[in-house]
Amino acid sequence: MSAPEERRRLAYQWLRRGVPRAEVARRLGVSWAAVDKWEKRRQAQGPNSWKEKRHPGPVPKLTAAQKARLKEILEQGAEAYGYPTNLWSLKRLAEVIRKEFRARYSLSGVWRALRALGFSAQVPLKRALERDDRYIRQRVRKTWPEIYRHARRRRATLVFGDEAGSQTTPNVRRTWAPEGWRPQLRVKGHWEKVSIISGVTLEGELYFELHRNDITGTEAVWFLEQLLEEIPGKILVVWDSVGFHRGPEVATFVWLNRDRRELRRLPPYAPDLNRDEGIWDVLKNDRLANYCPTSLEELQGTARAEMRRLKADPRKVRTAIRQTELPIHELVPAEISA
């Protein structure tokens, strides 16, 4: 019973016993006019009119069985239903509902129906067409535990490495503009960029180098040399299979330093497995979001400063690298992966 119902019930009870309206109002902490209204309602509609009237609302367009079927269609994906891409839009779903159940929904009605089914609008993860999910799952189940245990046996520091670039064109997330007027951002057809190569350990230690040119085998070797200088003992680097990672310069360097250095490669087209990807997400979409440098020198200085701030805070680094889909938590001690 709601609080308003309880007040009306008590008012009806006291009024029936002859308690003055002013006294009822005082006891319930309401106005005399409210009590007078209740008394007139009691006399006109009867002793049970203190109860709230239930409003069932409109009859649902879809039955429970139809909603279950719609949820099944959603979970199977748009491509399975016959659309060329695997994206569910409100317009597509309105078409599905009309075709499957002969019910017409407005786009806002479709939105409410989806929310009631437990769905929400989300930004999809982009996957390369060449990606082989079955092969990746097999590699993750078999190869990753072997890599981790091998590093533990050799007492080697495990480093996840990757490269990224930051451009002088603004990394725009959003901007303010008058309502009804979409702003335009004019950018140059050619822009300069800073290339960054970095590595991160499971403990949250971050290492990086910045370059004004694209990363090649030469820059990769320089970075591997930096890791040898800064990390004591043996090192096992895990990175992707990009061309220069497999080039002769890197292969020669690794062979010459085989007593301390080993390399392992992640499956192709699987950046989501690389813990270092979380660093780029923080740098581009947080630290440099809406950043508008006036020159390449300013961009380089800002990017270096932001990377240094991250490097100085291993806790933030550990937070940034948690998003990987590599099953770190199944093997790594809780105090490291937390």
**pLDDT for 213-251, tens place per residue?**
888 889 999 999 999 999 999 999 988 878 888 889 989
Q: Is the pTM of this model over 0.75?
A: no
pLDDT score recorded for residue 335:
41
CA atoms of 247 and 128, how far apart (whole Å): 23
Instruction: Specify the range with the lowest mean pLDDT, choosing from 67-81, 114-128, 291-305.
Output: 114-128
pLDDT beyond 90 at 177: no
pLDDT averaged over every residue in the chain: 81
Kindly state the average pLDDT of the residues 267-285. Answer: 77
Percent of the chain with pLDDT over 70: 83
Between 156 and 184, name the one with better pLDDT. Answer: 156
pLDDT-derived band at 337, boundaries 50, 70, 90? very low
Given this model, what pLDDT does residue 125 score? 60
Query: Is-contact 211 205, C-beta < 8 A?
Result: no
Strands 157-167 and 261-265: unpaired
Mean pLDDT, to the nearest integer, of 16-24?
89
**Residue 299 pLDDT grade (very low, low, confident, very high; cuts 50, 70, 90):** confident
* More confident: 126 or 322: 322
157-167 and 235-239 beta bridge pairing: parallel
Q: Encode the chain in three state secondary structure.
A: CCHHHHHHHHHHHHHHCCCCHHHHHHHHCCCHHHHHHHHHHHHHHCCCCCCCCCCCCCCCCCCHHHHHHHHHHHHHCHHHHCCCCCCCCHHHHHHHHHHHHCCCCCHHHHHHHHHHCCCCCCCCCCCCCCCCHHHHHHHHHHHHHHHHHHHHHHCCEEEEEEEEEEECCCCCCCCCCCCCCCCCCCCCCCCCEEEEEEEEECCCCEEEEEECCCCCHHHHHHHHHHHHHHCCCCEEEEECCCHHHHCHHHHHHHHHCCCCEEEEECCCCCHHHCCCHHHHHHHHHHHCCCCCCCCHHHHHHHHHHHHHHHHCCHHHHHHHHHHCCCCHHHCCCHHHHC
Q: What is the mean pLDDT of residues 331-338?
A: 47
Least confident of 148-162, 197-211, 257-271: 257-271
Residue 245: the pLDDT is: 86
Full strand arrangement of the beta sheet holding 193-201: 206-211, 193-201, 157-167, 235-239, 261-265
Residues 188-213: tens digit of each pLDDT = 555 678 888 988 888 889 999 998 88
Q: List all residues 6 or more positions away from 239 whose beta carbon is below 8 Å from its beta carbon.
A: 160, 161, 162, 245, 263, 265, 266, 274, 276
**How, if at all, do strands 193-201 and 157-167 pair?**
antiparallel
Q: What is the pLDDT of residue 157?
A: 92
% of residues, the chain, pLDDT over 90: 16
* 182 confidence band (pLDDT: 50, 70, 90): low
pLDDT of 48 > 50? The answer is: yes
- Rounded Cα–Cα distance for residues 85 and 284 (Å): 28
For the ranges 1-5, 69-73, 307-311, 315-319, the lowest mean pLDDT is seen at 1-5
Residue whose C-alpha is closest to residue 97's, from 119, 67, 76, 126: 67
Q: pLDDT at residue 81 above 50?
A: yes
Over residues 82-108, the mean pLDDT reads 89
